[in-house]
Amino acid sequence: MKKWKYSVLSLMMMGMSATSMAAPQELDQVVMTVNDGVILQSDVNAMLKTVHLNAAEEHQQLPPNDILRQQVMDKLIMENLQIQQAKQLGIRIDDSQLDQAIADVAKQRGMTVDQLRQTLAKAGISYPMFREQMRNDMLASEARTVIVRKRVNILPQEVDALAKQMAKQTQQNVQYNISQIQIRVDEDADKAARDKAKQEAEDIVAQLKKGADFSQLAYRYSKGPKALKGGEWGWMSKEEMPTIFADQIQNNGKDAIIGPFRSGVGYHILKINDVKGMPSVSVVEVKARHILIKPSVILSDAAAKKELEQIRQRIISGKQSFAAAAKAYSQDPGSAANGGELGWQVPDMYAPAFKDKVETLPVDKISEPFKSAFGWHIVEVEGRRKVDRTDAAMKNRAAQILFNRKFNEEAQTWLQELRAGAYIEQMNKVNND
């Protein structure tokens, strides 16, 4: 059976701290002080009870009682220290966040929140205790993330090196359908001839990027071995193609135009017509522009919306252009000077309300005023395009792998430093529940 993700049914992740608990019961006693916090006998009992419960569900054998109690104490100490850090940082978990986390736990267990409460009650765990333990667990996790993230440093060259290594493994069974245009120039040609060939190759690339047909330009300009086939070399792996081609292709995907690049026989331009055997990642980018009005002490929420409605009507009626209105009224300094232009972006980079709007709004239509975390907006989507992001996705994956590795390493170091600098004193002997 699956273990509980959050506390009380996973109190190996978190101890019941008296600093955030209700008043202790009459017979409860302090067994450990941790800086200005304490660990109660009830904290230890609760964790021991939960460990035994989880072990029974997982059919796992536990260590002897003395070892188990020491493990429980160590865990309670570390979690207590992390909660203290969270409080120093001013981290708060409000009730709405807590309610959502509890709902997620219930969903993962395939039950409703009411059913979760019933299950906790059967295990002898009060729902208020569960809520507060959840809150503590989230506080500790947030503090750990905030502090350790600042200690993690990833160099661009580390990402590039890992991405290349991953790409090499991925591409072992990859085949490319490529075409080439070769502008011939002798290796011993003078500078004028080399410059002329280079300029011709650059002009061809410019035409290709404007949508010119590759095969037609190959028939016309290429002096390569496949010129009479429109420059098409067909399907081949990197191991089968000339090394200079393989080196240039790297992680480029379908429809990529590569070059011009130089070899001993002249300048080359490649096109990847298709790729098979390699997982590709494509995303839809949106080109949009917006106008932002922020509510303030002087400008109410309703007044900000009304002002945007008036601006929108002037733009629609043709009395003012979108760009002019953005420069005059938008309170987004990053885009106002450019007429509200946000450029080509993946919608996921935007705040949720803005993301939803640019994903659903028809092209060339100005939205009604809508609110995001930043204020009131009107937005116009100017275009959408599909972009290959295989190379970027590989680098993102490499960066995430490196971050996870370093985060885990730094987290352990930070926790050791945290404990080494803490005042910890045992007050009473820990009893088994």
SS3 268: strand
Residue 388 has pLDDT above 50, yes or no: yes
Residue 15 has pLDDT above 80, yes or no: no
Residue 13 has pLDDT above 70, yes or no: no
Secondary-structure class of domain 282-386 per CATH: alpha beta
Q: How far is CA 155 from the centre of its chain?
A: 18
Give the global pTM.
0.49
In this prediction, residues 277-302 reach a mean pLDDT of 88
Domain map (residue ranges) of the chain: 30-151, 174-276, 282-386
Provide the pLDDT for residue 430: 64
Provide the pLDDT for residue 23: 40
| CATH superfamily label, 30-151 | Porin chaperone SurA, peptide-binding domain (1.10.4030.10)
In this prediction, residues 47-66 reach a mean pLDDT of 79
Alpha-carbon dihedral 371, 374, 377, 381, rounded to 10 degrees = -110
Q: What pLDDT digit, counting tens, does each position of 116-143 carry?
A: 888 888 877 778 878 888 888 899 899 9
Choose the CATH number for 174-276 among 3.10.50.40, 1.20.1540.10, 2.60.120.10, 3.40.47.10. Answer: 3.10.50.40
Provide the pLDDT for residue 280: 67
For all residues of the chain together, what is the average pLDDT? 86
Q: What pLDDT digit, counting tens, does each position of 211-235 carry?
A: 999 999 999 999 988 888 899 999 9
In this prediction, residues 295-308 reach a mean pLDDT of 92
Provide the pLDDT for residue 252: 81
Residue 19 has pLDDT above 70, yes or no: no
Non-local CB neighbours of 366 within 8 Å, separated by 6+ positions: 312, 315, 316, 322, 378, 379, 380
Provide the pLDDT for residue 279: 66
SS3 53: helix
Please check whether residue 167 is in contact with residue 238, taking contact to mean a CB–CB distance below 8 angstroms.
Answer: no
